Amino acid sequence: RLSKEDDTPSSRRSRAARSAVTELRAGAAASIPAPPPPTNRALSKFYFPCLALWISGPLLSLVDTSFIGLSAKAGAVGAAGSAAQLAALGPATTFIDGSLYLFAFLNVATTNLYASALAKGGDTKKNRDGISELPGEGVVRTAAKTSLISGIGLMFLLLAVARPLIALYIGPEAAASPGLLDSAHEYVKIRALSMPTSLLGGVLQAALLGAKDSVTPLVAIAYSTVINVVGDYLLVNRFHMGLKGAAIATLLAQLAGTAAMIPSARSKLLARGSSLGLLPRWFTKGEPDEINSKTFLKFAAPVLTLILGKISAFGFMTNAAAGLPGQPQTLAAHQIALSLFFFASPFL
């Protein structure tokens, strides 16, 4: 028997959420039949687009590094030289990529929870158009909303404290190099504006992969790649905007990639009339989903342990390179080597 306090609407929602999480994380083994083993052809159709997705990020970083290194003004020295620009690009990209990487648990949770929801099957919940929702819609909505809120918070945090953190990160010797700290800070400020859409795009891609669709994210990445290459060519090579131009090109590429993914994600992951739930519930007057943000946070601890280890390793390497004599050439060489390593690592 439940007391009156235990039978409030919030208590019932809490119990439903805990029950849903238990079933999803356990795989609902009692009710989910074992799927047939995939064929080699099916694995190949899924594997190769996933590999392309995996190398797309390092490839874009390598493109930025190449344009920055090869497009400096002829005879430019100091902060405008290619070595100084590459030296600033190293800690700036590590700082931005590390910030995004901290929220990779959202992608892991989205793929796991969405795939489990698909295996479990649908329920009788209706959307505002009276159409039965597809399995996993609650996971997609919660993931999208959580990623957007997290991205907005991360964006304001980076805009507020990026400069002192970068100065602490690279150390006093590298920070004393002419223009290095200013260029790195400017790059981070511009890239920080893409944090909400970057995290949103990440969870949408993760949900599509959970639905065994690796082609739609690949098409979005193709849009992003074209925008980034064209933007780098125009802003860095033609207009000689240097690191600022590379940051703007990457920002536009990330916005374009997420924008290209949203329509396909809505049509493939949601029923007609359903929304991604990005607006507040009081505005849309929607019913709360059984899966809430706390469900995603339960994936944070184990994933963050691995992530923090990787970030610390590469962060210490960049910090060590920044402390070597001969700046900015040593930090520029480190950026080139690191970009090549990240591009080659998926094949190792």
pLDDT tens for 216-225 read 888 998 999 9
pLDDT at 77: 44
What is the rounded distance in angstroms from the CA atom of residue 337 to the CA atom of residue 10? 53
pLDDT at 74: 43
Q: Is the CB of residue 119 less than 8 Å from the CB of residue 28? A: yes
Instruction: Provide the pLDDT confidence category of residue 147 given band limits of 50, 70 and 90.
Output: very high
pLDDT at 199: 93
In the chain, the amino acid numbered 232 is D
The four Cα atoms 168, 81, 158, 346 give a dihedral, to 10 degrees, of -90
Angle at 206 between CA 205 and CA 208, to 5 degrees: 65
Percent of the chain with pLDDT over 90: 22
Tens of pLDDT, residue by residue over 28-86, are 444 556 667 878 887 777 777 777 777 777 777 788 888 888 875 544 445 556 778 88
Instruction: Provide the pLDDT confidence category of residue 178 given band limits of 50, 70 and 90.
Output: confident
pTM to 2 decimal places: 0.81
Kindly report the average pLDDT of the chain as a whole number: 80
Say which residues have a Cβ less than 8 Å from residue 217's Cβ, sequence separation at least 6: 49, 53, 204, 205, 208, 209, 261
132 by DSSP, 3-state: which? strand
Q: Is the peptide bond between 164 and the residue preceding it cis, with omega within 30 degrees of 0?
A: no
C-alpha distance from residue 15 to each of 2, 10, 22, 295 (Å): 12, 9, 11, 13
What is the rounded distance in angstroms from the CA atom of residue 116 to the CA atom of residue 136? 8
Residue 22 has pLDDT above 80, yes or no: no
Q: Is the CB of residue 220 less than 8 Å from the CB of residue 261? A: yes
Residue 317 has pLDDT above 60, yes or no: yes
Say which residues have a Cβ less than 8 Å from residue 40's Cβ, sequence separation at least 6: none
More confident residue, 288 or 258: 258
CA 308, distance to chain mean position in Å, is: 16
Tens of pLDDT, residue by residue over 205-259, are 999 988 888 888 889 989 999 999 999 999 998 998 888 999 999 999 999 999 9
pLDDT at 12: 54
More confident residue, 55 or 136: 136
Q: Is the CB of residue 241 less than 8 Å from the CB of residue 299? A: no
pLDDT at 75: 44
pLDDT at 29: 47
Residues in the chain: 348
Instruction: Provide the pLDDT confidence category of residue 329 given band limits of 50, 70 and 90.
Output: confident
Of the listed ranges 5-19, 41-55, 106-120, 303-317, the one predicted with least confidence: 5-19
pLDDT at 157: 95
Largest CA distance in the chain: 82
Q: Which residues pair with 132 in a beta bridge?
A: 126
More confident residue, 186 or 39: 186
